Amino acid sequence: MASADKLINTYVPEKDVFALHFLQSLSNLRTQNPLNSPDKSIDRVRKIKKAAYVSMARAAGGTSRLWSRALLRRAAKDDNKSVRFSRRKRKVTWKISSKRKRSNQRAPVVEEAAERLRNLVPGGGGMETSKLMEETAHYIKCLSMQVKVMQCLVDGLSPK
């Protein structure tokens, strides 16, 4: 990896952490629906997908990452649950980010791509471009880890 990693922290836990969290969430799903057959499979799919994202967010570092925080908040809002966040160590730099957005001298090419990224990455709306790219890097790592876990699970559980 580039030496920039020393400055930009993109540490992602091992796969088993993800696996653990995901399996936990799946089993919880299981217990939530003892009838094993909700009305539509789409709901189940959606639930599993949401469980996957939530477990990924939790495995990847809980509330210490911007994207995971936004993801969890979004999920909690849907379920009408409350998410307790740990205290942020850094102070919120709204002033700077708003100042930066005001000056539209940024490279428009980069900025429109950043807009698209913001729509994709959870919590991207409040970040400026450099922070966004950090979060994207971490998000990509976690996503790929989660995909691997799920793939393994599916392979393991699918009929031979």
Amino acid at 63: T
Closest to another protein by CB, 39 or 105 = 105
Among 1, 78, 102, 104, binds another protein (CB under 8 A): 1
Dihedral (Cα; 131, 136, 141, 146), 10-degree rounding: 130
CA dihedral 124, 129, 133, 139 (to 10 degrees): 0
Are 36 and 27 in contact, with CB atoms under 8 Å apart? no
- C-alpha distance across the termini of the chain, in Å: 38
Question: Least Å distance between CB 132 and another protein?
Answer: 9
The single residue among 98, 101, 125, 152 that binds another protein, judged by CB under 8 A, is: 152
Question: Can residue 35 be called a binding residue for another protein (CB under 8 A)?
Answer: no
The DSSP call for residue 5 is G
Binding mask 43-72 for another protein (x = CB under 8 A): -xx-xxx--xxx---xx-xxxx-------x
What is the nearest approach in angstroms of another protein to the Cβ of residue 10?
7
Contact call for residue 9 and another protein (CB under 8 A): yes
Residues numbered 83-102 forming contacts with another protein, rule: CB under 8 A: 83-84, 86, 90-91, 93, 96
| 62, amino acid identity | G
Q: Using CA atoms, how far apart are residues 122 and 87, in angstroms rounded to an integer?
A: 20
Q: Site for another protein (CB under 8 A): which residue of 78, 88, 121, 125?
A: 121
